[in-house]
């Protein structure tokens, strides 16, 4: 039934004289009246209640669909351009006015995220490795990011954890001894550690001296070595022999340097010597290239027994052929932390023979690559000054003296808790603490120094006096000076001034601006220079980006924008993707991060988001991508061959992995990812009653065939016409980002699969299934033949790519979604960037100069 909309609009408060009334009446009401209400939109009932978020969003959608020309649909008569312009102009003005009336769009009060909290504490106290994040409740997420004010609620759980985190921080920050703990150099051999002992006995590792087999301990052959304890008693593993390891770490075995477990949290210098070789049943030959040795920091649980302790990767290091290479790195170690080692670039092999399982004749029957560790040296803790700067921040130059009073500060007895660790604490016979002759005057002076740094803005005397009054109360209650001060420092670290981004209502003041800038590019508090010159934008942005702390921005932003945080969300099916390894996964993430860094440093344009003539690769990824000439684990810029379809985020393995489920790929998931993350056009959520398309895990039927059936339903077709094309193009890549022209299959009818670049030591059981069809057609009917074609078309629309990136960065930088009224400013950022060549570094500058950034 067709009825005049003007009447209905009058009924719902929309004035008939407004340009929308006639426009809707002529072009829209046929499909969007009470009876038909296509797309669940009934214009006759739609009210102008803009204070209602849902209603407002509907009007925004109407505006966008008319402005983009998507509505009225192509099969209908096109409205005159002037009418379209009039309607969208009116809607634009009305919506902006409504938004301003509602004061929506301004950044709400928001607390620090977990990572912001940790980084802020690290920088404030100069404790760059203190681990606090894991102890805090997980943050929510809104509009794609966890630093969004809509997501950052706070509860009593948060507060309890903040108190714990503050205590942990103060424990580490306050010096409790008059002199620094002595620094020592400990040289560790992998041989003298419980797990490697076992592997040496059974043949998964060998002892080496001077690049030859250690004659004292021949490699295991038909028989393994017997009686590990006897070997240990004779000191066979104590001779600082090099250890060649064949076995990759797994669920039951990790190589840890257990003879050392840090007692004093702090900076340590680590040196490690690695090399590699090809083992051929007793012969040591040149290796196939530079292998990758991994070092990680291991946090021992309890007394350190068992395996699978929490750890994080320090890096992957060159192990050249038959030549030891010494790597040096500065690390932070917390209490009970040590190092772990893994033969990252080697395939999983098991030389340990139990019955018929494992390698016959163990090591002596094996031919394959091996990575050797000569030694690892740990030097530290390294303290340039004592007391450390964390202590000085809290207590200035007050002297540390032996405590003689009645109620001493609490001290936990330090002892080595890890079984097997040889380093022991230095004896602390007496209790040392800071002494203040005029405690309240000292407290006032110390707080005047500390509070502005912690709160990231000047702190008035009246606020400071409240803290001093608490010190006074604690002293009167019998606490010593350190305990009383600790009480107020803990209070400060749990106060809203520390936990929240404090921003004025409209234009940001200098402090808020400095904080917004530093939390954007450093994920942390501003330093003194930024607080001093926050409006020297160009210089400051360049300085912040140049600082290593800007890596936090890259990691945090990409972790959310491109979902890199989800890289480990699933483990690829081991039968279908046996070549996958943790090293490959870490390389994937490193590639994407390095690529984004390169885009910023080289100020490359947004076309590079999807297409480029280079990639950031190491050997692992280069082999995975079928690109030759890259050796070793270091990520570097590599020019891509002309016929290579790689280059840009869409064909990076990390992006391809986070958009797959570990077994199969779905054009819907990947298509939705591209639309939302790269084009800024997130698809509508699926209707509630439509079942998801379940891929055939056996690989007999392609996802395209299944989707074709799904799209036969008209209600699905319109959305899938937009979602599926990018996903179809990305079908050329499997769940771990490997190129494919046929699907891998576990179906018995598949064809035998060639090994390709898969390590010869990795057994293959998958087969080749149906062919991949990566062709498709955009919603506007442009066709593409495959991924390269698709990327070329996408890269041609640099404006859309740049606009989306600008939008994502603004949301991230300001902690709020882009409001309707922000669109003009956002467009302005993009236009100014484009005028200067469209570089991404330029975009960052323009964002920071914009009213969006400089206004709350």
Partner 1 sequence: MKHLLLLSSLIALHLHADESKHRIIGLSEPSREQDLREQVKTMPEVELAALNFNTAEVTFRYDVAKLIPNYNPKHPPKTEAITRHLEDLLRAASNGTFTLQPLSTLPADKLQKLEIQCGLLDCKGCRYGAYITIAKLDGVERATVNESALLTAWIDPTKTNREDLEAALKKGRVELKTP
- Cα atoms in the 13 Å half-sphere on the side-chain side of 226: 2
Asked if 235 touches partner 1 (CB under 8 A), the answer is yes
The answer to whether residue 354 forms part of the interface with partner 1 (CB under 8 A) is no
Are the C-beta atoms of residues 402 and 431 closer than 8 Å to each other? yes
8 Å CB contact between 311 and 340: yes
- Compare residues 242 and 842 and give the one whose CB is closer to partner 1: 242
Report the distance separating Cα 561 and Cα 813, nearest Å.
12
**Residue list 672-731, contact with partner 1 (CB under 8 A):** none
Of 157, 159, 155, 141, the residue nearest 815 (C-alpha): 141
Of 589, 591, 656, 665, give the one whose Cα is nearest residue 622: 591
Nearer to partner 1, 155 or 227 (CB): 227
279 contributes a contact to partner 1 by CB under 8 A: no
Shortest distance in whole angstroms from residue 282 CB to partner 1 = 12
d(CA 582, CA 382): 31
Minimum CB distance to partner 1, residue 449 (Å): 55
Q: How far is the CB of 365 from partner 1 (least distance, A)?
A: 13
Binding of residue 226 to partner 1 (CB under 8 A): yes
| Residue from 155, 233, 252, 356 binding partner 1 (CB under 8 A) | 233
Least CB distance to partner 1 at residue 364 (A) = 10
Q: Specify the residue, 208 or 788, whose C-beta has the smaller distance to partner 1.
A: 208
Pick out residues in 423-452 that bind partner 1 (CB under 8 A).
Answer: none
Q: How far is the CB of 230 from partner 1 (least distance, A)?
A: 3
- Write a three-state SS string for 461-524: HHHHHHHHHHHHHHHHCCCCHHHHHHHHHHHHHCCHHHHEECCCCCECCHHHHHHHHHHHHCCC
Burial of 661 (0-12, 13-18, 19+ CB in 10 A): middle
Return the structure tokens found at 493: 């670290």
- Size of the residue set binding partner 1 (CB under 8 A): 17
The answer to whether 221 contacts partner 1 (rule: CB under 8 A) is yes
Residue 227 interacts with partner 1 (CB under 8 A): yes or no? yes
Segment lying near partner 1 (by CB under 8 A), choices 42-50, 61-69, 100-108, 218-226: 218-226
**Contacting range for partner 1; rule: CB under 8 A; set: 228-236, 546-554, 585-593, 617-625:** 228-236
Closer residue to partner 1 (CB): 218 or 683: 218
Determine which residue in the list 101, 234, 285, 824 makes contact with partner 1, applying CB under 8 A.
234
Taking the least distance from each CB to partner 1, the nearer of 220 and 730 is: 220
Phi-psi region of 269 (alpha: psi -120 to 50; beta: other; left: phi over 0): beta
259 is a site residue for partner 1 (CB under 8 A) = no
Name which of 176 and 202 has its Cβ closer to partner 1: 202
In the complex, minimum distance from the CB of residue 283 to partner 1, in angstroms, rounded to a whole number = 17
- Residue 77 touches partner 1, criterion: CB under 8 A: no
- Quote the tokens at residue 815: 């902690």
Using H for helix, E for strand and C for coil, what is the string for 436-456? Answer: CCCHHHHHHHHHHHHHHHHHC
Q: Whose Cβ is closer to partner 1: residue 128's or residue 218's?
A: 218
Of 390, 380, 347, nearest to 366 by C-alpha is 347
For residue 229, CA distances in Å to 194, 197, 225, 226, 235 come to 11, 10, 11, 9, 10
Q: What whole-number distance in Å separates Cα of residue 475 and Cα of residue 471?
A: 6
Q: Is 548 in the site for partner 1 (CB under 8 A)?
A: no
Which residue stretch of 153-161, 224-232, 282-290, 606-614 sits at the interface with partner 1 (rule: CB under 8 A)? 224-232
Q: Considering the rule CB under 8 A, would residue 191 count as an interface residue with partner 1?
A: no
In 3D space, the residue among 620, 591, 611, 25 whose CA is nearest the CA of residue 318 turns out to be 620
Residues with Cβ within 8 Å of 172's Cβ and at least 6 positions away in sequence, in order, are 125, 127, 130, 265, 390
Q: Give 181 or 224: the residue with its C-beta nearer to partner 1.
A: 224
Least Å distance between CB 348 and partner 1?
25
Strand partners, 280: 283, 367
Q: Using CB under 8 A, which of 101, 216, 285, 690 touches partner 1?
A: 216
Comparing C-alpha atoms, which of 43, 51, 33 is closest to residue 12? 43
Binding segment for partner 1 (CB under 8 A), chosen from 131-139, 225-233, 264-272, 423-431, is 225-233
Whether the Cβ atoms of residue 119 and residue 159 lie closer than 8 Å to each other: no
* Shortest Å distance, C-beta 260 to partner 1: 21
- Tokens 């500058």 — which residue? 845
356 binds partner 1 (CB under 8 A): no
Closest to partner 1 by CB, 201 vs 843, is 201
Q: How far apart are CA 118 and CA 122, in angstroms?
A: 6
| Minimum distance from residue 250 beta carbon to partner 1 (Å) | 22
Of residues 242 and 850, the one with the C-beta less far from partner 1: 242
Query: Minimal distance in Å, beta carbon 416 to partner 1?
Result: 21
CA atoms of 316 and 327, how far apart (whole Å): 10
Residues 6+ apart with CB under 8 A from 144: 560, 561, 676, 808, 811
Query: Residue 798 corresponds to which tokens in the numbers above?
Result: 């640099």
Helix segments in 602-691, DSSP class H: 619-625, 653-658, 667-673
Give the integer Cα–Cα distance in Å for 119 and 122. Answer: 5
Q: Which of 98, 127, 174, 236 binds partner 1 (CB under 8 A)?
A: 236
Nearest-angstrom CA–CA distance, 341 and 274: 11
Asked if 231 touches partner 1 (CB under 8 A), the answer is: yes
Using the rule CB under 8 A, is 218 a contact of partner 1? yes
* Residue among 52, 153, 164, 222 that touches partner 1 (CB under 8 A): 222
In this chain, which stretch among 214-222, 274-282, 447-455, 747-755 interacts with partner 1, using CB under 8 A?
Answer: 214-222
Piece of the chain touching partner 1 by CB under 8 A; list 114-122, 221-229, 391-399, 547-555? 221-229
Contact call for residue 194 and partner 1 (CB under 8 A)? no
Q: Does 240 bind partner 1 (CB under 8 A)?
A: no
Say how far apart CA 297 and CA 796 lie, in whole Å. Answer: 44
Give the range of 54-62, 210-218, 291-299, 812-820 binding partner 1 by CB under 8 A. 210-218
Q: Does 399 bind partner 1 (CB under 8 A)?
A: no
Q: Which stretch binds partner 1 (CB under 8 A): 99-107, 217-225, 649-657, 720-728?
A: 217-225
User: Which residue of 125, 217, 522, 812 would you call a contact of partner 1, by CB under 8 A?
Assistant: 217
* Residues sharing a CB contact under 8 Å with residue 182, sequence separation 6 or more, in sequence order: 426
Distance CA 263, CA 403 (A): 23
Q: In the complex with partner 1, which residue's Cβ is closer, 235 or 286?
A: 235
Task: Please pick, from the candidates 63, 110, 114, 225, the single residue that binds partner 1 as defined by CB under 8 A.
Answer: 225
Does 229 contact partner 1 by CB under 8 A? yes
Least separation, in Å, of the C-beta of 234 and partner 1?
A: 5
- At its nearest, how many Å lie between partner 1 and the CB of residue 439? 52
- Only segment of 229-237, 377-385, 579-587, 767-775 that touches partner 1 (CB under 8 A): 229-237
β-strands 776-777, 783-784 pairing: antiparallel
Q: Specify whether the CB–CB gap between 706 and 696 falls below 8 A.
A: yes
List of residues 6+ apart from 231 with CB closer than 8 A: 197, 201, 217, 225, 237
Nearer to partner 1, 259 or 294 (CB): 259
Cβ(216)–Cβ(236) under 8 Å?
Answer: yes
Point out which residues bind partner 1 (CB under 8 A): 216-218, 221-227, 229-231, 233-236
């Amino acid at each position: 039934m067709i009825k005049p909309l003007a009447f209905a609009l009058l009924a719902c408060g929309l004035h008939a004289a407004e340009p929308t009334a006639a426009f809707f009446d002529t072009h829209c009401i046929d499909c969007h009246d009470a009876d038909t209400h296509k797309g669940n939109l009934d214009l006759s009932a739609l009210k102008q209640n803009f204070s209602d978020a849902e209603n407002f969003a509907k009007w925004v959608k109407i505006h966008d669909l008319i402005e983009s020309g998507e509505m009225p649909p192509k099969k209908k008569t096109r409205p005159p351009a002037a009418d379209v312009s009039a309607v969208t102009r009116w809607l634009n003005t009305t919506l902006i006015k409504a938004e301003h009336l509602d004061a929506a769009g301004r950044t709400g009060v928001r607390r620090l995220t977990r990572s912001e909290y940790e980084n802020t504490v690290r920088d404030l106290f100069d404790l760059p490795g203190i681990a606090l994040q894991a102890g805090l409740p997980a943050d929510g997420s809104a509009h794609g990011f966890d630093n969004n004010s809509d997501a950052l609620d706070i509860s009593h759980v948060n507060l309890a954890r903040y108190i714990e985190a503050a205590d942990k921080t103060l424990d580490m920050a306050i010096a409790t001894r008059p002199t620094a703990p002595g620094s020592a150099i400990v040289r560790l051999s992998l041989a003298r550690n419980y797990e490697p002992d076992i592997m040496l006995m059974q043949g998964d590792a060998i002892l080496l001296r001077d690049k030859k087999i250690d004659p004292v301990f021949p490699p295991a052959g038909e028989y393994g070595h017997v009686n590990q304890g006897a070997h240990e008693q004779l000191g066979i593993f104590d001779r600082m022999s090099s250890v060649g390891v064949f076995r990759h770490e797994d669920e039951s075995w990790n190589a840890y340097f257990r003879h050392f477990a840090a007692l004093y949290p702090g900076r340590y210098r680590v040196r490690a010597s690695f090399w590699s070789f090809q083992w051929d049943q007793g012969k040591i030959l040149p290796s196939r290239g530079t292998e990758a040795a991994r070092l990680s920091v291991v946090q021992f649980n309890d007394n350190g027994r068992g395996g699978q302790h929490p750890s994080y990767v320090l890096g992957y290091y060159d192990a050249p052929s038959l030549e030891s290479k010494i790597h040096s790195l500065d690390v932070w170690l917390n209490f009970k932390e040590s190092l772990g080692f893994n033969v990252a670039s080697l395939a999983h092999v098991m030389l340990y023979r139990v019955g018929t399982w494992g390698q016959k004749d163990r090591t002596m029957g094996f031919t394959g690559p091996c990575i050797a560790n000569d030694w690892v040296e740990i030097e530290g803790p390294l303290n340039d000054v004592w007391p450390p700067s964390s202590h000085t921040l809290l207590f200035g130059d007050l002297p540390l003296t032996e405590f003689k009073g009645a109620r001493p500060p609490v001290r936990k007895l330090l002892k080595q808790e890890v079984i097997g660790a040889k380093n022991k604490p230095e004896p602390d016979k007496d209790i040392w603490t800071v002494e203040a002759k005029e405690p309240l005057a000292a407290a006032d002076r110390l707080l005047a120094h500390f509070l502005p740094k912690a709160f990231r803005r000047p702190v008035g005397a009246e606020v400071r006096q409240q803290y001093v009054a608490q010190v006074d109360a604690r002293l009167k209650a019998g606490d010593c000076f350190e305990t009383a001060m600790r009480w107020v420092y803990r209070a400060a670290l749990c106060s809203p001034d520390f936990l929240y981004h404090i921003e004025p209502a409209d234009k940001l003041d200098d402090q808020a601006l400095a904080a917004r800038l530093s939390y954007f590019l450093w994920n942390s508090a501003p330093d003194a220079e930024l607080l001093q010159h926050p409006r020297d934008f160009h210089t400051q942005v360049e300085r912040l980006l140049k600082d290593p702390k800007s890596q936090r921005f890259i990691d945090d932003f990409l972790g959310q924008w491109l979902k890199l945080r989800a890289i480990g969300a699933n483990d690829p099916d081991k039968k279908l993707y046996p070549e996958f390894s943790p090293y490959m996964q870490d390389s994937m993430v490193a590639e994407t991060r390095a690529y984004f860094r390169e885009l910023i440093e080289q100020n490359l344009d947004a076309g590079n988001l999807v297409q480029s003539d280079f990639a950031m690769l190491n050997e692992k990824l280069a082999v995975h991508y079928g690109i030759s000439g890259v050796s070793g684990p270091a990520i570097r810029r590599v020019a891509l061959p002309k016929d290579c379809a790689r280059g840009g985020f869409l064909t990076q393995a990390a992006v391809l992995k986070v958009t797959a489920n570990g077994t199969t790929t779905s054009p819907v998931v990947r298509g939705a990812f591209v639309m939302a993350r790269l084009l800024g056009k997130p698809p509508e959520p699926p209707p509630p009653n439509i079942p998801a398309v379940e891929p055939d895990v056996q690989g007999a039927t392609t996802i395209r065939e299944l989707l074709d059936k799904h799209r036969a339903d008209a209600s699905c077709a319109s959305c899938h016409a937009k979602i599926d094309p990018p996903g179809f193009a990305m079908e050329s890549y499997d769940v771990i980002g490997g190129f494919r022209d046929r699907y891998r299959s576990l179906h018995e009818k598949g064809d035998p699969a060639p090994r390709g670049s898969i390590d010869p030591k990795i057994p293959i059981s998958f087969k080749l299934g149906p062919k991949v069809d990566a062709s498709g057609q955009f919603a506007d009917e442009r066709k593409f033949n495959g991924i390269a074609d698709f990327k070329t078309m996408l890269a041609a629309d640099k404006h859309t790519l740049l606009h989306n990136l600008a939008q994502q960065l603004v949301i991230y930088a300001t902690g709020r979604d882009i409001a309707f009224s922000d669109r003009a400013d956002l467009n302005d950022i993009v236009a100014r960037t484009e005028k200067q060549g469209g570089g991404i570094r330029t975009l960052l500058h323009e964002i920071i100069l914009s009213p969006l950034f400089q206004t709350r």
